């Protein structure tokens, strides 16, 4: 089987904690994990013409991620997010605006990369600025398979944009809070995850939807079948990037046409292990994942 390829589009930035800085941004986190799982991966974004931008590009290259379509913007600085962690490790975010990643402009090189990739992965936060939003909507018709990673970051989302993106997606990933918020936003009368999952699938004509449930695992709807994982026990250090690594692991398995249930189980284990480490992109070997899943 041919090596699957993926393009991640959107924010690349620095997560700034009270005591440290970490490279992050949901699309970058997804790209890093995809590359580590053997998917040929490219990142499309924009950084500032500054030291942080140079470091981000070097970091991606060190992870074997293609960076040819990461532009440099002399007018806007590389993105920064101030992260605050609760006592339980849950994160809240203060996202500086505008940043360089708000200003991703279309080019023939970007279009060609999206056309040639097996999967095109994007999120909702990138649409907070009209420049990057317009570029995304120009790229969506070029993609073979569109994966929408919903990341609701108040106040940076609008119902009309979310609905339009969902209607153009082939695969949508929510967390449970996002599922309920968006389902209610578009008129769902239901109160359960399963009912809202089905409602959104029918409302947006999307055949594959995944909902993460924190420490309680996830549910995947794929081509009319549902798959469940009830979660893994882990001592949480911080939740930053756990959902991104979960999504990347799920995408990697599905692109390789592996069994959906085994893929979901693997993705939940990876997400849990990331939550048990500091930062969004800890190194986690396949051997460690297997021992975590099957300790006997």
- How crowded is the C-beta side of 228, counted as CA atoms within 13 Å? 5
Give the percent of the chain with pLDDT over 90. 84
DSSP class of residue 278 equals S
CATH number, residue 143: 3.40.1190.20
Q: What is the largest CA-CA distance in the chain?
A: 55
Cα–Cα–Cα angle for 250, 253, 256, rounded to 5 degrees = 145
Q: Are 129 and 102 in contact (CB under 8 A)?
A: yes
Number of domains in the chain: 1
DSSP class of residue 101 equals G
Which pLDDT tens digit goes with each residue over 145-191? Answer: 999 999 999 999 999 999 999 999 999 999 999 999 999 999 999 99
Q: Cα 243 to the chain's mean position, in Å?
A: 7
- Strands in 91-95's sheet, in edge-to-edge order, are 20-24, 13-17, 79-85, 91-95
- Strands in 70-73's sheet, in edge-to-edge order, are 70-73, 40-48, 5-9, 119-123, 146-149, 171-175, 208-212, 218-222, 225-229
Terminal alpha carbon distance of the chain: 32
Which pLDDT tens digit goes with each residue over 92-112? Answer: 888 989 999 999 999 999 999
Q: Which among 22, 125, 12 has a CA at the least distance from the CA of 67?
A: 12
Q: Which domain holds residue 119?
A: 5-293
What's the predicted TM-score (pTM) here?
0.95
Report the C-alpha gap between 247 and 223 in whole angstroms: 18
DSSP structure string for 230-268? -------S--TTHHHHHHHHHHHHHHTT--HHHHHHHHH
Q: Is the pLDDT of residue 131 over 90?
A: yes
């Amino acid at each position: 089987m041919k090596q699957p390829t993926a393009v991640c589009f959107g924010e690349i930035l620095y997560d700034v904690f009270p005591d440290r800085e970490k490279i992050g941004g949901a699309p970058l986190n997804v790209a890093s994990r995809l590359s580590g799982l053997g998917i040929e991966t490219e990142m499309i974004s924009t950084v500032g013409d500054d030291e942080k931008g140079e470091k981000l590009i070097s970091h991606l290259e060190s992870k074997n991620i293609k960076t040819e379509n990461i532009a440099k913007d002399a007018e806007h600085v590389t993105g920064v997010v101030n992260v605050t962690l609760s006592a339980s490790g849950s994160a809240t975010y203060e996202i500086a605006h505008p940043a360089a990643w708000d200003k991703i402009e279309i080019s023939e090189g970007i279009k060609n990369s999206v056309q040639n990739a097996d999967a095109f992965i994007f999120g909702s936060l990138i649409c907070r600025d009209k420049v990057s939003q317009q570029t995304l909507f120009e790229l969506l018709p070029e993609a073979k398979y569109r994966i929408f990673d919903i990341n609701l970051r108040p106040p940076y989302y609008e119902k009309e944009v979310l609905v339009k993106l969902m209607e153009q997606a082939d695969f949508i990933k929510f967390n449970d809070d996002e599922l309920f918020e968006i389902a209610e936003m578009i008129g769902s009368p239901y109160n359960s995850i399963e009912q809202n999952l089905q409602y959104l699938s029918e409302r947006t004509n999307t055949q594959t939807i995944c909902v993460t449930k924190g420490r309680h695992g996830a549910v995947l709807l794929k081509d009319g079948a549902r798959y469940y994982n009830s979660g893994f026990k882990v001592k949480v250090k911080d939740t930053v990037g756990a959902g991104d690594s979960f999504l990347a692991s799920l995408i990697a398995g599905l692109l390789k046409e592996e069994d959906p249930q085994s893929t979901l189980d693997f993705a939940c284990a990876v997400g849990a292990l990331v939550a048990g480490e500091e930062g969004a992109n800890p190194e986690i070997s396949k051997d460690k994942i297997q021992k975590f899943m099957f300790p006997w």
